[in-house]
Structure 1
Amino acid sequence: MKDKHKPPHTEPAMIQYASLLKSKTITPPVVAAKPVIMLHGEPSITWKASEVRSLIIKENLQYAIIGKFSYGKPDVTELRKAIPGQCGIKSECTIGVLDTRHILIRLTTMEDYVHLLSSSAFYIKAKESYWQMRTLKWDPWFEPDVETTIGIA
Structure 2
Amino acid sequence: MTTFKSRLRGDLTAAIKERDELRSATLRMVLTAITTEEVSGKSARELSDDEVRKVLAREAKKRREAAEAFDKGGRADRADRERAEGEVLAEYLPRQLTDEELASVVDEAVAEARAQGVEGPRAMGAVMKIVNPKVAGVAEGGRVAAAVKKALAG
Select the structure with the greater relative contact order (CA < 8 A; seq sep ≥ 6): 1
Task: State the TM-score bracket (shorter-chain normalisation).
Answer: under 0.3
TM-score (norm 2): 0.24
Query: Whose strand fraction is larger, Structure 1's or Structure 2's?
Result: 1
Between structures 1 and 2, the one with greater helix share = 2
